[in-house]
């Protein structure tokens, strides 16, 4: 990247106003044209959202988008829509024992609604509060039950099974943290009380140890900040076996959306740990040890993004994609979603930019490192909020264009005559660019920081 050192968050104000207007149009268009009886909308095909289930992991993003729209604009029609959708359709996601996505689906809906109530943005209602809290408590415990023990801790395993740690799942740790703050625990055999905070911290430590690389010689492709989508273990003895990838090019290259989940996950959790007393963290290694592990992972992944992303802050879908070399010196010019060889992934930028901003704020904007990450986040945000990334087509249901779902499987739409996929959106990209925009909007308006725990830490 070429980091714009002069841009300020206030320079994005006009872009944000346009963004929220277009965002509302897209939400209404999807509500009008898409029926959830066919499943959750996942990504667009010729401008229209379609389902594509491994699981319905994107439903919370659809409904959560309405809640974020209300948060940013105050338009109560979106709040009513988000509440209605959550009550009518999100219950199965609370008790879904087959996925690692609870922090996506349920924090985006029940979590955002509880946060708004805690912030005084929606009226206090005792029954509603209990409803949201119960959903989050159960969701956090169900997520924590997908557990594989390791000799030095353990991890929440992915939908691939107990051998599989996904880098994505660091964002599901948030639901365990929220449930813990609400006073909940996972009850095991013989009424064993299992700490949700402890499981979240152990999972994050495992992610930092196995999914993130630090240039320390773990394999021939080890470099500072590289990530593996999946870490594979022998469940008989707990030994790490190899890196792997489900949606990236290989286990030895960096799938940039997986990288982005780590980029935002570690800084968010560092923010959360700062709200806890030292005594609470002592049983799990103590504040100094935990913060050192998570900060190293946050800085490494954000550094990799900066060093391996085109000048404008939008990465290609995988840092080792096999035809990148045909693009020539692609890192020293802006991203090109219309090239003939490899697609960009704007959804990775939307997720990762929030991580850059949060890490910058955490380190302090008066520090050299903090300022660098903050300005990198603003640089990428400026690109995403303009052409050719934000859709202005009133018939296109997507908001953030040029995202990629599954390049190896060929699931993404290639326009006629094109050699690569481009021009489409995905539900996680649309949700996370809204989340990014809300984070920026609150900074522009000098409002309280947008956090996943929102007022009850």
Q: Cβ(149)–Cβ(155) under 8 Å?
A: no
Amino acid 457: pLDDT = 57
Amino acid 456: pLDDT = 72
Amino acid 55: pLDDT = 84
Query: Does the structure show a pLDDT above 80 at 53?
Result: no
Query: Does the structure show a pLDDT above 70 at 173?
Result: yes
Which CATH code for domain 9-56+142-444?
1.50.10.10
The angle subtended at Cα 172 by Cα 319 and Cα 1, nearest 5°, is 30
The dihedral region occupied by 377, where left means phi > 0, alpha psi between -120 and 50, and beta the remainder, is: alpha
Write out the two tokens for 61. Answer: 């993003």
Asked whether the bond before 388 is cis by omega within 30 degrees of 0, the reply is: yes
The dihedral region occupied by 138, where left means phi > 0, alpha psi between -120 and 50, and beta the remainder, is: alpha
Could you write out the DSSP letters of every residue in 244-293?
A: E-SSSS-TTS-BHHHHHHHHHHHHHHHHHHTTS-HHHHGGGT-HHHHHHH
Query: Does the structure show a pLDDT above 80 at 435?
Result: yes
In the chain, CATH 1.50.10.10 sits at 9-56+142-444
Sign of torsion over alpha carbons 377, 368, 330, 258: negative
Amino acid 372: pLDDT = 98
What does the pLDDT look like over 14-34, one tens digit per residue? 999 999 999 999 999 999 999
Query: Does the structure show a pLDDT above 80 at 288?
Result: yes
Write out the two tokens for 336. Answer: 């090109």
Q: Cβ(395)–Cβ(33) under 8 Å?
A: no
Query: Does the structure show a pLDDT above 80 at 40?
Result: yes
Distance of alpha carbon 423 from alpha carbon 387, whole angstroms: 12
Residue whose C-alpha is closest to residue 312's, from 371, 263, 372, 376: 376
Q: Is 377 helix (H, G, I), strand (E, B) or coil?
A: helix
Q: For residues 283 and 52, which has the higher predicted lDDT (pLDDT)? A: 283
Query: Does the structure show a pLDDT above 70 at 41?
Result: yes
Amino acid 240: pLDDT = 97
Q: For residues 3 and 54, which has the higher predicted lDDT (pLDDT)? A: 3
Distance of alpha carbon 407 from alpha carbon 66, whole angstroms: 29
What does the pLDDT look like over 253-269, one tens digit per residue? 999 999 999 999 999 99
* Average pLDDT of the segment spanning 405-423: 97
Amino acid 455: pLDDT = 75
Amino acid 54: pLDDT = 75
Q: How confident is the model at residue 38 (pLDDT cuts 50, 70, 90)?
A: confident
Query: Does the structure show a pLDDT above 70 at 286?
Result: yes
Average pLDDT over the chain, rounded to whole? 97
* Average pLDDT of the segment spanning 193-200: 98
* Average pLDDT of the segment spanning 75-84: 98
Residue whose C-alpha is closest to residue 333's, from 316, 347, 318, 348: 316
Give percent of the chain above pLDDT 90: 97
What values do phi and psi take at 252, rounded to 5?
A: -110, 10
What does the pLDDT look like over 109-153, one tens digit per residue? 999 999 999 999 999 999 999 999 999 999 999 999 999 999 999
* Average pLDDT of the segment spanning 322-347: 98
What does the pLDDT look like over 341-371, one tens digit per residue? 999 999 999 999 999 999 999 999 999 999 9
């Amino acid at each position: 990247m070429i980091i714009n050192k002069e841009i300020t968050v206030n320079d994005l104000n006009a872009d944000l106003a346009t963004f929220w207007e277009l965002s509302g149009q897209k939400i209404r268009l999807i509500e009008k044209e898409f029926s959830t009886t066919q499943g959750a909308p996942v990504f667009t095909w010729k401008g229209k959202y379609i389902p594509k289930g491994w699981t319905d992991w994107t439903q919370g993003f659809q409904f959560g988008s309405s809640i974020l729209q209300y948060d940013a604009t105050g338009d109560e029609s979106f709040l009513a829509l988000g509440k209605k959708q959550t009550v009518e359709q999100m219950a199965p996601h609370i008790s879904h024992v087959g996925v690692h996505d609870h922090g996506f689906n349920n924090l985006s809906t029940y979590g955002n609604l509880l946060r708004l109530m805690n912030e005084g943005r929606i009226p206090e209602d005792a029954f509603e509060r209990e409803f949201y809290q119960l959903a989050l408590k159960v969701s956090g415990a169900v997520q924590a039950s997908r557990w594989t023990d390791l000799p030095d801790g353990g991890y929440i395993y992915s939908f691939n099974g107990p051998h599989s740690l996904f880098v994505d799942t660091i964002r599901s740790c948030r639901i365990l943290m929220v449930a813990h703050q609400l006073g909940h625990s996972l009850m095991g055999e013989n009424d064993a009380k299992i700490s949700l905070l402890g499981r979240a911290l152990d999972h994050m430590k495992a992610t930092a140890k196995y999914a993130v690389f630090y240039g320390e010689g773990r394999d021939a492709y080890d470099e500072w900040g590289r990530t593996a989508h999946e870490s594979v273990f022998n469940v008989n003895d707990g030994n790490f076996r190899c890196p792997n990838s489900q949606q990236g090019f290989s286990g030895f290259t960096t799938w940039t959306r997986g990288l982005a989940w780590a980029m935002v996950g570690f800084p968010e959790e560092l923010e959360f740990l700062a709200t806890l007393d030292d005594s609470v963290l002592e049983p799990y290694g103590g504040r100094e040890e935990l913060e050192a592990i998570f900060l190293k992972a946050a800085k490494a992944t954000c550094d990799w993004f900066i060093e391996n992303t085109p000048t404008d802050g939008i990465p290609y879908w995988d840092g080792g994609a096999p035809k990148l070399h045909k693009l020539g010196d692609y890192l020293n010019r802006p991203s090109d979603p219309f090239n003939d060889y490899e697609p960009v992934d704007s959804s990775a930028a939307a997720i990762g930019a929030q991580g850059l901003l949060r890490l910058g704020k955490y380190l302090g904007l008066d520090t050299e490192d903090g300022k660098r990450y903050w300005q990198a986040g603003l640089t990428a945000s400026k690109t995403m909020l303009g052409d050719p990334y934000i859709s202005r087509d009133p018939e296109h249901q997507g908001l953030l264009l040029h995202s990629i779902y599954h390049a190896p499987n060929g699931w993404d739409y290639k326009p006629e005559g094109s050699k690569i996929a481009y021009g489409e959106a995905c539900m996680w990209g649309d949700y996370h660019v809204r989340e990014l925009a809300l984070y920026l909007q609150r900074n522009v308006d000098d409002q309280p920081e947008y956090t996943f725990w929102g007022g009850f830490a």
